[in-house]
Amino acid sequence: MSSDIAIGVYGAGKCYLVYDRPEDRLKQAVFGRAAQLLNRPIPRYFREFWALREVGFEIRRGETVGIIGRNGAGKSTLLQMICGTLTPTVGHIHTQGRIAALLELGAGFNPEFTGRENVQLNASILGLSDADIETRFPAIAEFAGLGDFIDQPVKTYSSGMSVRLAFAVMAHVDADILIIDEALAVGDAFFVQKCMRFLRDFARRGTLLFVSHDSSAVLSLCDRAVWLDSGTLVQDGTPKEVSDAYLAKLYESRQGQDSGLRKDLPDNDVQLAFDQGEPSQGEGSDPADAGEADMRDLPAPTGVASFGAGGAVIRAVNVRDQSGTPLLSVEGGEHVTVEIVADAKIDLASPILGFHLRDRLGQNLFGENTYLTYAEQMPHVRAGQRMRARFNFQMPYLVNGDYMVSVAVADGTQLDHVQHHWVIDAITLKSNSRHNYRGLLGIPGMTVDLRVASDAADP
């Protein structure tokens, strides 16, 4: 394996033997051994379950790789094999450098030991000398923030306290490779932010393997993403590409595959218009009256660019200024209208249309849908009718660069719905802002008032 490769996984698989009854395990041991000695076919009193099958990829030094997948996809099994706590049934795994791992909650801790004793135990297992542990203990204790509980048995800790202690140890052992398996999901918001700051700093100098159900964390933190499903590697690519494909698969598994959307619906004079907020006023034509001929027709769904159950199809989408002119770029602060046109292929009891504005990494910056505005008066839409949704707002200030608008039409409620057509990155907007600000978004129209009183008693 090249010295530039920190982790190499080559055709790795893990098989477990599943016995339906306790006595089957005894039968397998006795009769299986007897058949082997007599040179006869070995009977099988078990079933094979492959948690992982033929998984292969390489992670270079300094890369940050996220692993995504549903529960039971094999993510934790893979991480345990990389850490060496599980042995692959087939294939092999190579690692180079000291590994520090935060796997299942409480792993590696003795519940009868105090937090201080567990720090000493875990740090020594990870290769620190007694002198190094003594020197670094104050920093570990400060990072964990447990106070006097550091000298209490770990069995008295909450799940969040255990994660604090485990992460604090991992952060101070000079590891070359960090492996984290969804453990941060139980931490409080302040500690999670503290951990994310550490991980971003570590990613500049080390190799990070990160498992999370939070796609925004994978999008913002990782250079690559690996998608596992049912123990096999489905996709290895950029976080944005893999996350979009994973989202489409989640909806498909929940409501069935895309039924094959066509673009041959007849036009219908009946329109259902959702107007989000007050229409923008300005010179020229109103965006509400803009003809569909000026809209950008969306291409037929291909790959992961579009998915859904197929009960409705998005026919057009546009972003317009106050005069109704389609926008290709924005500066921030201007009044805009996002317009979505969709055709119903089946009857929809509670249609929802909405959009997200996403950055180049695929992170959702903001968005809106029609549900809350029309929840009390949601009209029934018949097959063949056309829906038109307009969202009027003042565009925030954005960091200069490219942004994508993703749109969708669904049927149901915010929490329980069928996604009929979701178009990923339907159109692109370029930000050419001249404003200086901090963060992902700037707020237009904000005023700042600073007053200095003559003394502390003044209001």
For the stretch 56-66, pLDDT in tens is 999 999 999 99
**How distant is the alpha carbon of residue 20 from its chain centre?**
36
Cβ pair 78, 39 in contact under 8 A: no
Q: What percent of the chain stands above pLDDT 90?
A: 34
Segment 212-234 shows an average pLDDT of 87
Residues of the chain with CATH 2.70.50.60: 271-442
CA–CA separation, 395 and 95 (whole Å): 48
CA–CA separation, 165 and 168 (whole Å): 5
The tokens of 103 are what? Answer: 């796997």
The tokens of 296 are what? Answer: 């950008």
Per-residue pLDDT band for 267 (boundaries 50, 70, 90) equals very low
Give residue 255's pLDDT. Answer: 65
The tokens of 289 are what? Answer: 């009256």
Give residue 187's pLDDT. Answer: 63
Give residue 293's pLDDT. Answer: 41
CA–CA separation, 41 and 35 (whole Å): 6
The tokens of 345 are what? Answer: 């292929």
Give residue 184's pLDDT. Answer: 66
Q: Which pairing describes strands 401-412 and 417-431: parallel, antiparallel, or unpaired?
A: antiparallel
Q: Residues 412-434: pLDDT tens digits? A: 888 888 999 999 888 888 888 77
Q: Which residue has the tokens 């942004």?
A: 403
Residues of the chain with CATH 3.40.50.300: 1-97+203-255
Give residue 287's pLDDT. Answer: 39
Radius of gyration of the chain (CA): 28
> The domain 271-442 is classified under which CATH number: 2.102.10.10, 2.70.50.60, 3.40.50.300, 2.60.120.380?
2.70.50.60
SS3 413: coil
The tokens of 371 are what? Answer: 């549900």
Q: Residues 167-206: pLDDT tens digits? A: 899 889 888 999 988 766 666 778 888 888 888 889 888 9
**Beta pairing partners, 274:** 389
* Average pLDDT of the chain, as a whole number: 82
Q: Residues 269-315: pLDDT tens digits? A: 333 454 444 433 333 344 344 444 444 555 444 444 788 888 999 98
Number of C-alpha atoms within 13 angstroms, CB side, residue 373?
16
Q: Residues 354-412: pLDDT tens digits? A: 999 998 888 888 999 998 888 778 778 899 999 999 999 999 988 888 898 999 999 98
Give residue 357's pLDDT. Answer: 93
- CA proximity to 129, closest of 92, 173, 164: 173
CA–CA separation, 85 and 4 (whole Å): 24
Cβ pair 241, 235 in contact under 8 A: yes
Give residue 383's pLDDT. Answer: 92
Asked if the 1-97+203-255 domain carries CATH number 1.10.540.10, the reply is no
Residue 279 DSSP symbol:
P
Give residue 380's pLDDT. Answer: 85
Per-residue pLDDT band for 85 (boundaries 50, 70, 90) equals confident
Sign of torsion, CA 230 235 237 243? negative
